[in-house]
Structure 1
């Protein structure tokens, strides 16, 4: 996490990155998906702002005040009609940059100038459209993580840098990590360097796959390999979504007896749709735990 002068820190929200064109009521995801119809309520709210192109994060805020829910955004995806009534969440946008105002390209200007312009554009914005807070104080930024609902980490940006897309942005992201336990139910990967574990949790008396780990570090691979025993002579198949990749190809793996518990590092403490959204990192073998102690509600 940056600590030197010339950097500012912003909260990293648990949502979908989006670009909003206020004058035309158009919205796009970071992958170019048109979100204008699915999130027409947001597009309509943004239409009340001056003509600009804004960068931000869509966040689903639960109406009962309990927090945010990343999975609720998926219920809007693919809809080609206005949001349905009676939903248990409201979509907000945490805005953090301005790319253009009218016909003027603001991307070459330094971050500090773009920030001032963003605040000006949002002076009379509705409650669902707000600028993210910023600070150059590392301790203050760390207090946002966990204290502000929906904040999963921080983003560091150079105050004098222009806006650039993708990896060229120079942004530094820091995400809070959590640890959990899972049972090893399979192994995948064609080479030692690519080997990963299929992870499971017991639900309703049955062992269910909840994710596929990142490739194992060599010390972890050497520690876990002697403990695993084959549970069949044929490979099995998992849907790509279990690996946290919607639309991905199936994952083929060799099943093993569910006897080994490992400690994993995850960026979300709870499962989504019965699996981890991002691939966990295996930290170590937990020889002190038995599989019966690892369940979905852990």
Structure 2
């Protein structure tokens, strides 16, 4: 492979801002795997956010790249799995698997798509030093005849349209809106773009915690708090965790949580967490990490008697898509009142209306 921009490349990043800034180019924020595609003839490599190659996990996209992209190019974008209900991040995570046979099977059952949103190189030309407006124009020209599963993200310079996207596109499981300075160059690993994401609050039941990785017997530290919400069947569903505490607060939480310690796990809503078969039917906190099979996800059960308010961005099925953030204790709320009904439901929106041809499966 011989390109003007060679792998590995860290993708350009975005910093969070509370509102959509004026005077920029706006596009949907896709919820998938960030990927920089390098193509030099039949040589294709997919670079990830951490610069590690993901090529082997998406054989169907390798063939699509050879069929639909220019002979020599470097593109920045997002790998997604689209369904009729929107983007499916859980299905995308399943694609990261060590077995070739399973990767092959999933590439047929849940094929992925690539949504391009920036151009780093084309032919012998390095575009990273050029303004985004010029890179976008060249990207549109390069992908003019590209067909699914290769797509071009829509953009607009109309602030009113961007604000409408922010509200409407969440129903298709998109993350929010990205704003790019029209004159900005491509700067790897620099937060020169802006991201505007949804932030909401929910009252959750505290049902357990995990020790911090640096915790010792002499200095115990709480790592994360395990959150639950009651389903319509009155079952406490594990919905996510709260972390990101200071070292001082992690030590204080050890004493704060001691009165809630369960004598044993019998009778705890998640007492079956150690039973692998139980994970097939519900979301339990003791499941094995798909990203690190050696990671200890066991937890300390607590009596589900205390409520806390957390900030979250959006839901992925029945759980929080990202790490939630602690807001405050809600001793005025009963655990039984913490149900899914309190969660705001975004407007539904079809992916086909955002990017034609990205309608997905099912």
Which moved further from structure 2: 277-286 or 152-161?
277-286
Q: What is aligned with 1:178?
A: 200
* Structure 1 residues 229-248: aligned runs within 5 Å: 229-232=259-262, 246-247=291-292
Q: What is aligned with 2:7?
A: none
Structure with greater helix share of residues:
2
1:295 CA displacement: 5.0
Picking from 20, 23, 29, the partner of 2:37 is: 20
Q: What is aligned with 2:91?
A: 72
* Structure 1 residues 203-218: aligned runs within 5 Å: 207=236, 209-215=238-244
Alignment coverage as a number of residue pairs: 289
Q: Is the 8 A contact 2:315 2:321 kept in 1?
A: no
Q: What is aligned with 1:116?
A: 137
1:94 aligns with 2:115: yes
Q: What is aligned with 1:9?
A: 26
3-state SS of paired residue (2:57): coil
Give deviations 1:176-231, integer Å, cap 9, x for gaps.
12333321123555699977532234577665644320345999x99xx8797232
Unaligned runs of 5+ in 1: none
1:254 CA displacement: 5.5
Q: Quick one: structure 1 residues 54 and 240, their matched pair in 2 at CA, closer, same or farther if it must change by over 3 Å? A: farther
Q: Is the 8 A contact 1:37 1:82 kept in 2?
A: no
Picking from 255, 259, 263, the partner of 2:305 is: 259
Unaligned runs of 5+ in 2: 1-18, 265-272, 275-283, 343-362
Q: What is aligned with 1:33?
A: 52
Give deviations 1:26-76, integer Å, cap 9, x for gaps.
3222223333232122221221321211010111111xx221101111222
1:107 CA displacement: 0.8
| Cα separation, 1, equivalents of 2:228 and 2:220 | 21
Q: Quick one: structure 1 residues 169 and 85, their matched pair in 2 at CA, closer, same or farther if it must change by over 3 Å? A: closer
1:282 aligns with 2:326: yes
Q: Is the 8 A contact 1:93 1:128 kept in 2?
A: yes
1:10 CA displacement: 1.6
Which moved further from structure 2: 33-42 or 250-259?
250-259
Q: Is the 8 A contact 2:285 2:298 kept in 1?
A: no
3-state SS of paired residue (1:258): strand
Which moved further from structure 2: 260-269 or 187-196?
187-196
Cα RMSD, aligned residues only = 3.8
1:150 CA displacement: 3.5
Q: Using CA pairs below 8 Å that are at least 6 residues apart, which structure has the higher relative contact order?
A: 2
1:270 CA displacement: 3.8
| Cα separation, 1, equivalents of 2:259 and 2:315 | 29
* Structure 1 residues 135-150: aligned runs within 5 Å: 135-148=156-169, 149-150=172-173
TM-score when scaled to structure 1? 0.79
